[in-house]
Structure 1
Amino acid sequence: MSLPPLIDPHRHAVFVDFDGTLVELVDDPQAVAIAPAALERLEALQAALGGALAVVSGRRIADLDRFLAPMRFAAAGVHGLERRVRPDGATERLAGPEVLDDVREKLGGPLRDNPRLKLEDKGTALVLHYRTAPDLKAVAERAMAEATAGRHDLNVMNGDNIVEVHPTGMDKGKALAAMMRDAPFAGRVPVYVGDDTTDEFALKHVRDAGGVSVKVGDKRSVAEFRLAGVAAVHRWLAASA
Structure 2
Amino acid sequence: MNLPPPLDPVRHALFLDFDGTLVELVDRPEDVQIAPHAVARLAAIQTACDGAFAVISGRRIADLAHLLAPLRFAAAGVHGLERREVPDGEVMPLAGPAALDAIRLVLSIGVTEEPRLRLEDKGTGLVIHYRGYPELEPVARELVTRAVQDEPGFSVMRGDNIVEVHLAGMDKGKAIAAFMTREPFVGRVPIYIGDDTTDEFGFAAVKALNGVSIKVGDGLSEADFRLACVDSVHRWLGVEPVTGEDSMKEAS
Q: Structure 1-normalised TM-score?
A: 0.98
Deviation of residue 109 (structure 1)?
2.5
Deviation of residue 219 (structure 1)?
1.2
Matched-pair identity in %: 61
User: Which residues in structure 2 correspond to 1:73-222 (within 5 Å)?
Assistant: 73-222=73-222
Runs of 5+ unmatched residues, structure 2: 240-252
Q: Which position in structure 2 is the counterpart of 1:3?
A: 3
Task: Provide, for residues 63-93 of structure 1, a one-character-per-residue CA deviation record: whole Å limited to 9, x for no partner.
Answer: 0001000100000000000001110111111
SS in 1 for 2:192: strand
Contact 2:108 2:119 in 1 (8 A): no
Contact 2:213 2:223 in 1 (8 A): yes
Q: Which position in structure 2 is the counterpart of 1:29?
A: 29
Q: Which position in structure 2 is the counterpart of 1:15?
A: 15
Q: Which position in structure 2 is the counterpart of 1:49?
A: 49
What is the RMSD computed on CA atoms of the aligned residues?
Answer: 1.1
In structure 2, C-alpha distance between the alignment counterparts of 1:109 and 1:98, rounded to whole Å: 17
Contact 2:23 2:34 in 1 (8 A): yes
Runs of 5+ unmatched residues, structure 1: none
Task: Provide, for residues 107-151 of structure 1, a one-character-per-residue CA deviation record: whole Å limited to 9, x for no partner.
Answer: 132211100100000000000000022111100000000000011
SS in 1 for 2:238: helix
Contact 2:217 2:229 in 1 (8 A): yes
In structure 2, C-alpha distance between the alignment counterparts of 1:212 and 1:3, rounded to whole Å: 11
In structure 1, C-alpha distance between the alignment counterparts of 2:13 and 2:93, rounded to whole Å: 23
In structure 2, C-alpha distance between the alignment counterparts of 1:58 and 1:226, rounded to whole Å: 21
In structure 2, C-alpha distance between the alignment counterparts of 1:198 and 1:152, rounded to whole Å: 20
In structure 2, C-alpha distance between the alignment counterparts of 1:63 and 1:129, rounded to whole Å: 17
In structure 2, C-alpha distance between the alignment counterparts of 1:73 and 1:197, rounded to whole Å: 24
Deviation of residue 208 (structure 1)?
2.4
In structure 1, C-alpha distance between the alignment counterparts of 2:209 and 2:178, rounded to whole Å: 13
In structure 1, C-alpha distance between the alignment counterparts of 2:78 and 2:110, rounded to whole Å: 23
Q: Which position in structure 2 is the counterpart of 1:227?
A: 227
Q: Which position in structure 2 is the counterpart of 1:68?
A: 68
Deviation of residue 216 (structure 1)?
0.3
Q: Structure 2-normalised TM-score?
A: 0.93
In structure 1, C-alpha distance between the alignment counterparts of 2:165 and 2:10, rounded to whole Å: 37
In structure 2, C-alpha distance between the alignment counterparts of 1:141 and 1:54, rounded to whole Å: 31
In structure 2, C-alpha distance between the alignment counterparts of 1:38 and 1:235, rounded to whole Å: 10
In structure 2, C-alpha distance between the alignment counterparts of 1:109 and 1:17, rounded to whole Å: 31
In structure 2, C-alpha distance between the alignment counterparts of 1:190 and 1:101, rounded to whole Å: 36
In structure 1, C-alpha distance between the alignment counterparts of 2:105 and 2:214, rounded to whole Å: 38
SS in 1 for 2:222: coil
One-letter code of the match for 1:54? A
Q: Which position in structure 2 is the counterpart of 1:238?
A: 238
In structure 1, C-alpha distance between the alignment counterparts of 2:108 and 2:58, rounded to whole Å: 22
